A and B are shown apart, each in its own frame.
Chain A
Amino acid sequence: MTTAIPAPISATRSMPVGLAVVSIPLLFVVLGLAIRYAAFYTGHPGATAAEFAQGLCRWDCGWYVRIAETGYDPFPVPTMINAGNWAFFPFYPTVIGVLRLIFVGAPTMVIATVASIIFTWIAVVVAWPLFERNWRAYTLYAAFLLSGPFSIYFTTFYTEVMFLLLITCVFAALKRQNYLLAGCFAALLSATRIVGVFIVFAIVLQAYLDHRAQGGTFKSFLTTIWTRTDLLLGIFIAPLGLFIYMAFLHYKIGDALAFQHDQRAWGRVTGSPFGYLWKALTNFPGSGFIPSASQQLAVGSIAGIALSIWLGFRKQLPAAVFCGICLVLPLFAGMASMMRFVAGLPPLSIELMKLLSRNKVSTVLFLLLFLVLDFEFTLGWLGGALALV
């Protein structure tokens, strides 16, 4: 199956490429902020910037704030609850914790909100080489992340911000066949979310595909990999973030797998992903035609898996494998947070934006739709829409 890729579209005749790459997401930084503030303002007239930042901190955000401010819980947890904060991976809260030491006195959520917006902006800029000079898709991608329906995930204190940035960095490094650099970003990624460690499969697969492209075979890949110290180092560095966190947990509470064992306190039960999807799809709303939160999550999950398969068809196997793992693994524990997990996978959203921006009309229409949905989804977030959690 082949799909025609739109011909590269030149940026502007007057603006240098670099400036356009940096400026386009900056425009959506401002637009997104204005839209989300407007949504927040409807329920909180006269809200200050600090109140706005704090007001958007919902659900898991509070856990990240506490880790950034006071670190990880000992055992027993001082608040005498079963759920320790060990389930939340350390890299992004640590970054915010360090920023707190620099910007002494500033509220954590103000620091985190500004940092998240900057990191997401950087993530968009870093993704530029992955767009093959497709300006329309790039513009739509910037709008999607910074002022689109799920912008809330990338502009408040959620680990998705750093996950997005680091995945983009890994794939940008792989595009340049720099496996060592990809491994270094992967190490940070594996300390950001548990599924981040599986990026190591994408690195190995990409190295193999590059080897094949240069006329090598599977056998010669296996025999020469031992001499490729850049690749070997990348592979062994990639999971270091996870292993360092595990070593820390063993030192802190005596259980290197505390992040996994802690799931019991959230009542998660391991089951079949198909079973969970079917149950969610058939969980019809009590009244009306708006799909239930479970149905929305199921549709989001299926769309994410379909996009992963589509990536495979598009010969982006490393990204397809990584995204597939990142979506299927959490499904073993149910539908919780699946919308966030799908939206936080840049290979999927980049490919989706390429599909949505096939012509000027569709680009403009989806751009406008993203802006409208940014407002609506922010209201939903503030109103406790379960599908967004």
Chain B
Amino acid sequence: MFKRLPAYGLIAVFAAFEIAVLWLALHPDVPEDYRAYYIDQSTTCLNQPVTGEYRLGQVIDFTASEGDLSKPFKACGWKGPSKEGTDAVGETSRLRFIFPQTAPSLTLQFEAIAVDHPETPTQTVKVLANGVPVGEVTIDQSAPQNFKLAIPAEAIAAMPGRIELRFDYPEAFAPPGIANTYKRSIKLLWITLQPNPA
């Protein structure tokens, strides 16, 4: 029995280590974005630390014609660009705009087209700015369409010099067996935030 004591001691150490690691596995210590995407799976959009550096009035190209000019703005939920635009992937996408100017009111303009899918001829897109609803648009597959939405004053006041745009796609689709992180809905061609004259 006593000859085996060191072995039993080692077994106890290994067992304690393994139990401790299991405890750690059950108690992750992660940022909120990580938890939402990987653990709770409450979003398909994993927020990335893009700079979002922007000048009000600047038009951001989301096609591949001039390389990926949109990369600094794409916080999450985008794939591309291609010549036809940048695909939204998942159920939500986000764009970040951080600008030095001040503007009492802003207008969001963008051009988009719905992804070709016979069972879903149109895509509804809900737009929010800094968490405040901006509007809802319906996009079809026929040709790129332009949209113009006023950013509410309360959204601008909520985060001065910063607009976090969120696009929700309630009708996004994915083939069976493919996760909701790969759902498709629209392609974005360009976007701009225009300051309105005082």
Instruction: Check if B179 is an interface residue, CB within 8 A of chain A.
Output: yes
- Tell me, in angstroms, the Cα distance from A230 to B17 when the chains sit together: 19
Instruction: Check if B143 is an interface residue, CB within 8 A of chain A.
Output: no
- Size band of the B side of the interface? 20 to 34
Q: Closest chain A residue to B44 by CB distance?
A: A264
In the complex with contacts A76-B49, A271-B177, A254-B28 CB distance below 8 A: yes
The reply to whether B181 and A267 contact each other, CB–CB distance below 8 Å, is: yes
Instruction: Check if B182 is an interface residue, CB within 8 A of chain A.
Output: yes
Instruction: Check if B8 is an interface residue, CB within 8 A of chain A.
Output: yes
The reply to whether B11 and A269 contact each other, CB–CB distance below 8 Å, is: no
- Tell me, in angstroms, the Cα distance from A276 to B178 when the chains sit together: 12
Q: Closest chain B residue to A275 by CB distance?
A: B177
Closest chain A CB from B30 CB (angstroms): 4
In the complex with contacts A76-B49, A264-B179, A237-B24 CB distance below 8 A: no
Closest chain A CB from B72 CB (angstroms): 10
In the complex with contacts A243-B17, A247-B24, A261-B39, A279-B177 CB distance below 8 A: yes
The reply to whether A229 and B28 contact each other, CB–CB distance below 8 Å, is: no
Closest chain B CB from A22 CB (angstroms): 35
The reply to whether A258 and B38 contact each other, CB–CB distance below 8 Å, is: yes
The reply to whether A75 and B30 contact each other, CB–CB distance below 8 Å, is: yes
Residues from 94 to 134 in B contacting A, C-beta threshold 8 Å: none
**Tally of A interface residues using CB under 8 Å:** 34
Instruction: Check if B15 is an interface residue, CB within 8 A of chain A.
Output: yes
Scan A75-101; emit 1 where CB is below 8 A from any B CB, else 0.
Answer: 110001010000000000000000000
The reply to whether A229 and B11 contact each other, CB–CB distance below 8 Å, is: yes
Q: Which residues of A pack against B, CB within 8 Å?
A: 75-76, 80, 82, 227, 229-230, 232-233, 236-237, 239-240, 243, 246-247, 250, 253-258, 261-262, 264-265, 267-269, 271, 276, 279, 334
14 further A-B contacts with Cβ under 8 Å, apart from A233-B14, A250-B21, are A236-B11, A237-B14, A239-B18, A243-B17, A246-B21, A247-B17, A250-B28, A254-B34, A255-B29, A255-B38, A256-B21, A264-B38, A264-B179, A265-B38
Which 6 interchain pairs have the tightest Cβ spacing? A229-B7, A261-B38, A256-B25, A254-B29, A267-B179, A236-B14
